[in-house]
């Protein structure tokens, strides 16, 4: 008998494992792509002023509202300049992770990062510490 069922089984096992790895990889990729597509939400006077999608950002973008200049780049968003006196907002620096926020209390301007997914917890701006 030349039958070698064990060897055959091993071969198909490897194929199954490879398919499984490929499927697992394919399932993970969209998740990573999602986390890449972040949105910066700018609010002024407690209302949403504008949204900047990082994936659509080809060059630096500046938003001016209430005497505050917000810069959006591939690295994230930051308060570039503000006419407030404390400059806490400018000193916050670049924010680029979902849930992160920078606020200028005197000028009533805030910017926060929203994840690309439909996660509702990021809609909550309770993360603001200032």
Shortest separation between residue 97's beta carbon and Zn ion, angstroms: 21
User: Which CB atom, from 39 or from 92, has the smaller least distance to Zn ion?
Assistant: 92
Please give the Cα distance from 75 to 70 (Å, whole number): 13
**Residue 97 Ramachandran class (φ > 0 left, ψ -120 to 50 alpha, else beta):** beta
Q: Which parts of this chain interact with Zn ion (CB under 5 A)?
A: 82, 84, 89, 104
CB of 26 to Zn ion, least distance (A): 45
Q: Which CB atom, from 95 or from 104, has the smaller least distance to Zn ion?
A: 104
The number of residues making up the chain comes to 130
Helix H or strand E segment including 91: helix 88-92
Q: What angle do CA 62, 70, 84 make, to 5 degrees?
A: 135
Shortest Å distance, C-beta 107 to Zn ion: 6
Q: Which is nearer to Zn ion, 43 or 82 (CB)?
A: 82
If the CB atoms of residues 102 and 116 are measured against Zn ion, the closer one turns out to be 102
């Amino acid at each position: 008998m030349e039958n070698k069922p064990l060897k055959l089984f091993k071969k198909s096992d490897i194929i199954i494992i490879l398919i499984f790895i490929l499927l697992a990889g394919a399932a993970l990729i969209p998740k990573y792509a999602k986390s890449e597509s972040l949105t910066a939400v700018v609010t002024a006077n407690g209302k949403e002023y504008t949204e900047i999608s990082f994936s659509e950002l080809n060059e630096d973008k500046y938003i001016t509202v209430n005497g505050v200049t917000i810069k959006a780049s591939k690295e994230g968003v930051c308060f570039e300049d503000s006419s407030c006196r404390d400059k806490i907002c400018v000193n916050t620096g670049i924010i680029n992770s979902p849930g992160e926020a920078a606020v200028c209390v005197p000028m009533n301007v805030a910017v926060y990062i929203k994840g690309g997914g439909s996660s509702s917890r990021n809609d909550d701006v309770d993360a603001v510490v200032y």
